[in-house]
Amino acid sequence: MAARTIQDPPFARFLFDNTSSSWIWLLARLYLGWQWLQAGWHKVTDPAWMNGGTALQGFWARAVAVPDPPAKPAITYGWYREFLTFLLEGGHYTWFAKLIAVGEVLIGAALILGLLTGFAAFAGAFLNFNFMLAGTASTNPVLFTLAILLLMAWKVAGYWGVDRWLLPALGTPWDRRPAAPERFEPEPVSPADERPRV
């Protein structure tokens, strides 16, 4: 039996490989970037985050607390509670708070500029995931979902941004040669591609 490559459906090729869909990702990128920039700027300008990390210390202390039954703890997974307890007891909030604050600003700026969009979306999703593990729902599930979608669309999500020129110049880790511009701008989906494949 001969090996055969299974093609993505036309809607997936349009969304994730076609620069015609880049305006959709521009809107998602700007929204997500603004959310990160706004959250990070609030922390960077707050002494409770930047001078000693007392804001993060308080958050971690509330997150690891186990209330009396029937109330449920904020953290579902014991291993994550132990991880945060280790960081809390070690005083790591003093530098971790700065890392989170500056990281949020950098993620926001990178997404808004379309600079290494896939990496910025991954970093944002990682932070959202950790916030959710710590028991904070808020907007994290929505932002996490947008970040994952941007990560899936990394080839075209930064088309209206710095990535339009940066990605072809850098190439990819799995192909050390710089990418040719035509490789970064995939072919539009033609009607022939939309026919069902047998």
Q: What is the pLDDT of residues 122-158, one digit of tens each?
A: 999 999 999 999 999 899 999 999 999 999 999 999 9
pLDDT at 132: 96
pLDDT at 3: 83
Residue 195 in domain: no
Residue 111 in domain: yes
- Please report the DSSP string for the chain in residue order: ----PPPPPHHHHHHHH-GGGHHHHHHHHHHHHHHHHHHHHHHHT-HHHHSS-HHHHHHHHHHH--PPTTS--S---HHHHHHHHHHHHTTTHHHHHHHHHHHHHHHHHHHHHTSSHHHHHHHHHHHHHHHHHTT--TTHHHHHHHHHHHHHTHHHHTTTSTHHHHHHHH-BTTB-SPPPHHHHSPPPPPGGGGSPP-
Whether pTM exceeds 0.85: no
pLDDT at 195: 55
Q: Which domain holds residue 176?
A: 26-49+95-181
Q: What is the pLDDT of residues 168-182, one digit of tens each?
A: 888 776 666 655 555
Residue 64 in domain: no
pLDDT at 197: 53
pLDDT at 149: 97
Does residue 64 have a pLDDT over 90? yes
Q: What is the mean pLDDT of the chain?
A: 89
Residue 55 in domain: no
Residue 113 in domain: yes
Residue 142 in domain: yes
What's the domain count of the chain? 1
Each residue of 31-55: b (16+ CB within 10 Å) or e? ebbebbbebbeebeeeeebeeebeb
